Structure 1
Amino acid sequence: MEKISRFVVVGLLVALAFVHPFAFAQGPVKKPTPKPLGKPSIAVAKSPGQVVYEQNCLTCHQANGSGVPNLNPPLRGTDWVLGDKTRLINVVLKGLQGQEVEGDAYDNAMPAHDFLTDTQIADVLTYIRSSFGNKAGVITIDEVKATRAQK
């Protein structure tokens, strides 16, 4: 029995002699490659006009400005958005009902948003006129003030 034990011990020592250098060898440490998340890790800041739009307009006119057929008109590519600034400012200040937009009738009335400040109205209308594929100029605070004064 003693011979078997010595044989086992010697065999284990020989095996460890061969395995030991490989078991504890230190190679270069590789950092794991991060997986792309698909979204930016830093939040993109929203413009003041976008914030006003999301709080007051998005529900009816949708995130992409497409509106809702037969209910709320689109905000992209229409003369109401791209045309006369005073008319557009008055839509926000006075609301709109029963008016055809680009030849289509829409059933929902837009309530007046005259509770918004001149700055908020200028910001949101500038946002709308430069979003959703629109390429129209800014609406200034002074233009909103002048239109509000005529109200």
Structure 2
Amino acid sequence: MKNIVALIGLTLCGLSASAQKKPAPKPKAAPATAVASSAAIAEGKAIYTQNCLSCHQADGGGVDGLNPPLIKTSYVLGEKPRIVKVVLNGLQGEDIDGEPYNNAMPSYDFLTDQQIASVLTYVRNSFGNKAAPISAAEVKAIRAANKK
């Protein structure tokens, strides 16, 4: 009986020793989140200053009743196609997050895909906003689908 207990003990020790020799599994990497490049942010800021600042203000706060804020609104932080279409088509007569704004936003479809991507990436990552960047390829696809 002592032999059986000893044999079981040795077997268990051998199993735990062999289990300890196995390398620990590598932790799964967290999914990569897209981060806006500093070049895109800098280009976007310049485009914003030239084209958007007079209506949406330097702080992105807009003008009550006239031009909507860009701070944490569903348009800015929401689905990318909607905000890209606003830049491409302009916007008039729509409430933003339940608030009416009376100024019409003109179309900025003369901007290149890269310029639109950069300015929207800037807006989506400024004024306290944190949202995924928008690429020129995404703008190009939305522009093409928008023409149909």
Q: What is the TM-score when the length of structure 2 is the normalising length?
A: 0.71
The code of the aligned residue for 2:68 comes to P
User: Could you say what the CA RMSD is over the residues aligned between the two structures, in angstroms?
Assistant: 1.2
The code of the aligned residue for 1:150 comes to A
Number of residue pairs the alignment of both structures matches: 107
The code of the aligned residue for 1:100 comes to D
How far is 1:102 from its partner? 1.0
After TM superposition, what 4+ stretches of structure 1 lie above 3 angstroms from structure 2?
none
Larger Rg belongs to: 1
The match for 1:104 is 99
Which residues of structure 1 form unaligned runs of 5+? 1-44
Percent of paired sites with the same residue: 60
**Partner residue of 2:76 out of 62, 66, 81:** 81
The match for 1:47 is 42
The match for 2:134 is 139
Q: Note if 1:124 corresponds to 2:119.
A: yes
The match for 1:35 is none
**Partner residue of 2:87 out of 89, 92, 95:** 92
Structure 1 CA distance for aligned equivalents of residues 116 and 144 of structure 2: 14
Q: What is the TM-score when the length of structure 1 is the normalising length?
A: 0.69
Structure 2 CA distance for aligned equivalents of residues 147 and 98 of structure 1: 22
Alignment of 1:2-13 (within 5 A): none
Structure 1 CA distance for aligned equivalents of residues 133 and 72 of structure 2: 16
Structure 2 CA distance for aligned equivalents of residues 55 and 84 of structure 1: 25
By relative contact order (CA 8 Å, sep 6+), the higher-ranking structure is 2
Structure 2 CA distance for aligned equivalents of residues 48 and 68 of structure 1: 24
Q: What SS class does the counterpart of residue 108 from structure 2 fall into?
A: coil
Q: What SS class does the counterpart of residue 90 from structure 1 fall into?
A: helix
Which residues of structure 2 form unaligned runs of 5+? 1-38
Structure 2 CA distance for aligned equivalents of residues 136 and 150 of structure 1: 23
